[in-house]
Chains A and B, each alone.
Chain A
């Protein structure tokens, strides 16, 4: 019996298990998936929890609902990967051998990497919205908050879902309008980037939208520490920004398993060929999604698009053929902008987000880099698509490879 081992049963690991079990003969290939948690989180939904749009139960389901029959599932912690000997050692010492390994262990927030971040003000005046716990704690805080300075800060790059902090401040603006205290709330968007986003056209469009909504952008701020006593964030070059409530995107790092296995870079992300998605170190290890160091967004859309490429290349590797499929870095993000509107960006390694229509050229229904109601409906519907189509690897009407059709240069 030959063995495929998948580490991590989030979006990536679940999609791969579904893809592989469909085509690999059960009497020939054993598929095993290891994860430490039994709950699958719909992570794009976390963003809505602080504003009372979703609650905790809208974003959680058991992982087992999405795994195909005919695979082994082990819920446990992983000690380390021994790539030289094709084996993985679990926390209890049990050894799993593999012919091929898929690493999809994701990225985690690490507030402990920033001095003062998770100390006395943590979940009192400082919150993250990348965990269900953080999002729920922030919801409770906002219920009785009467206003002041709301600071959103990104601690380090890269981080999961690069548009989420923008969506957060847009939704905050709308929320405080709705509850009638927007005039008592000052909102600042503090980023290590030179502007609202990384690429020129999206930065311009989003920068203007922030300005329109009276959200102040403070660029080039690289967080060193948090002063709990005086409620200030302080950068390496000693800029200080006082806050009443701080929503933080903490340092993102890959799993500790990657570090223990000596497979990661300085942030525990696995060096991965950005086209083939194979580990740079081992020919029988592939890396999917946030766990890799490929230079594109850490997002569900990237996982989805790149899973097609990884699948093709893994099948080639199994059959001893050269890896022909190439990932183009395709990413696609809905951006909630508040008041029932949204925007969409679509881009890859070489093409920055451009204006136009999506997915059908000239028709849409979605408008790229535009702020429309239809784009917002897309995001609302997406939660259903995620649970019912994406995880189970049914077809979505969007190609893996980015298309220039419908985009305007």
Chain B
């Protein structure tokens, strides 16, 4: 476990840079984290991030399909917002743990 200074706030992160305490998250932090992924944070990105945070708090298992059915954005749109690894990148920016597949 390490701490990292993001947007002037000291936050707990794991070795891959995912925040370990979602309560430390702010929109300013999201903006910084997005920059690290070469993403310019927009309201669209924030809507997805907030949805993921709400679902995470409820204990839901997050999947790309679930976000696609949320009504916020379809799966194609999600890939456009977070190119490369939509769920991993959006989770990182939302300050929640890296999504894992359980099998």
Q: Report which A residues bind B (CB closer than 8 A).
A: 156-158, 162, 193, 197-199, 220, 222, 224, 236-237, 266-267, 293, 295-297, 331, 349
Task: Pick from B61, B78, B85, B102: contact of A220, CB below 8 A.
Answer: B85
**Contact in complex: A224, B75 (CB < 8 Å):** yes
Q: Taking the nearest CB of chain A, how far is it from the CB of B78, in angstroms?
A: 8
Question: What does the 1/0 interface line of B49-86 toward A look like (CB < 8 Å)?
Answer: 00000000000010111100100000110110001110
**Contact in complex: B66, A296 (CB < 8 Å):** no
CB contact under 8 A between A296 and B102, given known A224-B76, A237-B79: yes
The answer to whether B101 has its CB under 8 Å from any CB of chain A is yes
Instruction: Sort A-B residue pairs by CB-CB distance and give the 4 closest, nearest first.
Output: A295-B102, A198-B103, A237-B79, A198-B101
Report how many residues on chain B are interfacial, defined by Cβ distance under 8 Å. Answer: 17
Task: Pick from A237, A266, A331: contact of B65, CB below 8 A.
Answer: A266
Task: Pick from B83, B85, B103: contact of A199, CB below 8 A.
Answer: B103
Q: Taking the nearest CB of chain A, how far is it from the CB of B35, in angstroms?
A: 21
- Give the chain A neighbours of B85 by CB distance below 8 A: 220
**Contact in complex: A222, B103 (CB < 8 Å):** no
Is chain A's interface secondary structure helix, strand, loop, or mixed overall?
loop
- Give the chain A neighbours of B65 by CB distance below 8 A: 156, 266-267
- Give the chain A neighbours of B79 by CB distance below 8 A: 236-237
**Contact in complex: B64, A266 (CB < 8 Å):** no
Q: How far is the CA of A222 from the CA of B75 in the complex (A)?
A: 10
CB contact under 8 A between A296 and B103, given known A156-B65, A237-B83, A266-B66: yes
- Listed by A's residue number, 21 A-B pairs whose Cβ atoms lie within 8 Å are A157-B101, A162-B103, A193-B101, A197-B103, A198-B101, A198-B102, A198-B103, A199-B103, A222-B75, A224-B75, A224-B76, A236-B64, A237-B83, A237-B84, A266-B65, A267-B65, A293-B61, A295-B61, A295-B102, A296-B102, A349-B102
Q: How far is the CA of A293 from the CA of B69 in the complex (A)?
A: 18
Q: Taking the nearest CB of chain B, how far is it from the CB of A114, in angstroms?
A: 12
Which A-chain residue is minimally distant from B75 (CB atoms)?
Answer: A236
- Give the chain A neighbours of B83 by CB distance below 8 A: 237
Q: Taking the nearest CB of chain B, how far is it from the CB of A397, in angstroms?
A: 25
Q: How far is the CA of A197 from the CA of B75 in the complex (A)?
A: 23
Q: Taking the nearest CB of chain B, how far is it from the CB of A33, in angstroms?
A: 29
Task: Pick from B69, B101, B103: contact of A266, CB below 8 A.
Answer: B69
Q: How far is the CA of A193 from the CA of B103 in the complex (A)?
A: 11
Q: CB within 8 Å of A: which of B13-60?
A: none
Q: How far is the CA of A224 from the CA of B65 in the complex (A)?
A: 11
- Give the chain A neighbours of B78 by CB distance below 8 A: 236
Q: Taking the nearest CB of chain A, how far is it from the CB of B52, in angstroms?
A: 15
Q: How far is the CA of A317 from the CA of B102 in the complex (A)?
A: 29
- Give the chain A neighbours of B63 by CB distance below 8 A: 157
